[in-house]
Amino acid sequence: MRKEIVGEITSLSSEKQKEIIMRHKENGVLFPIESGIFVGENVRLESGCVILPGSVLTGNTCVSKNCHIGPNTWLYNVSVGEGTSLNSVQAYDSKIAEGADIGPFVHIRPGSEISDRVHLGNFVEVKNSTIDCDTKVSHLTYIGDSDVGKNVNFGCGCVTVNYDGKAKHRTTVGNNAFIGCNTNLIAPVKVGDFAYTAAGSTITQDVPEDALGIARARQVNKENWVKEKKPYKNM
C-alpha cells in the first residue's frame, strides 16, 4: 500500500470523515451503510452514486453520476464515468469511462484507460494499457503494456507477455479480435482486426487481419500407454 494513501487515511479524524460523508449525502450520494467506508477530502462524488461498505476512495478520485462503487473497492486518483459498476476493485492512477462493468477481484494499475461499456471479470489485472469500447475480458487474464481495440473478446487465462527480463514491450490487439483461452501474446506483437488466436497458443509473430493464429504442438495419442507404463499407484 502506498505511503501517501496510508497518510491520507490516518490524517482524518472520525469526526471529519463523518462531515465529508454527510456533505456527499446532501448532494445526492447514497451510503446504505456508512461504517467501513472512507472518503478523502479531495474526492468528488456526483449525485446518484451508491457507495457500499469496504470502499476506500482517496486522492483526486472523481466518480460520476449513478455509479455503484463496492463493496470492497479501493480507488486512488481514479476517474470513473457515469453508470459504471466497480465490485471488489483496486484501481490506481487510471481512467474508467461510462457504463463499465468491472469485478469482482480486479486490479487496475497506473496508466490504464478503460473505455465505455468494457467488462473486466473476476481475477483480471490491467497495467499501463488502453482497452477500447465494448471489449470483454471475463476472467483470469493479465493485460500489461497493451493497446486493445473495440469489441475484443479475451478467453480465460490469457496473458500479454510484456517483460523480457530487461525491458517492457507493448502488445496491440485490433478491433473485433478474438483471443482464445490460454493464449500467450509475446510482446511486441500485433493481432489484427477480426483476427482469431486458437486456444492454447503462444503467439510470437503478428497475426494479420481476418487470420487465425495457431501456435501449439499437434496432439499425439499413444495407445495403451497407461496399461504398459502403469503410472498409477493402484495399478
User: How does pLDDT run across 165-178, given as a tens digit for each residue?
Assistant: 999 999 999 999 99
Catalytic positions, written as ranges: 139
- Which structural domains are found in the chain, ordered by start? 1-114 (2.160.10.10), 144-235 (2.160.10.10)
Cα 185 from Cα 142, distance rounded (Å): 10
Question: What's the confidence (pLDDT) of residue 146?
Answer: 98
Number of Cβ within 10 Å of residue 66's Cβ equals 16
**Beta strands 171-173; 153-154: pairing state:** unpaired
Which residues contact residue 73 at a Cβ distance below 8 angstroms, ignoring those fewer than 6 apart?
A: 52, 54, 55, 56, 86, 87, 88, 89, 90, 91, 103
Which parts of the chain sit beneath pLDDT 50? none
Question: What's the confidence (pLDDT) of residue 8?
Answer: 86
Question: What's the confidence (pLDDT) of residue 1?
Answer: 63
Do 94 and 110 touch, CB atoms closer than 8 A? Answer: yes
Question: What's the confidence (pLDDT) of residue 94?
Answer: 98
Cα dist from 231 to 54, 169, 220, 221, 223, whole Å:
49, 42, 18, 16, 14
- Angle 204-217-155 from CA coordinates, rounded to 5°: 60
Question: What's the confidence (pLDDT) of residue 31?
Answer: 97
b/e string for 188-204 if b means 16 or more Cβ within 10 A?
A: ebbbbeebbbbbbbebe
Do 60 and 78 touch, CB atoms closer than 8 A? Answer: no
First-to-last alpha carbon distance for the chain, in angstroms, is 52
Bridge partners (DSSP) of residue 9 are none
Q: How far is CA 167 from the centre of its chain?
A: 22
pTM here?
A: 0.94
Question: What's the confidence (pLDDT) of residue 7?
Answer: 82
| DSSP code for 168 | B
Question: What's the confidence (pLDDT) of residue 186?
Answer: 98
Number of Cβ within 10 Å of residue 74's Cβ equals 23
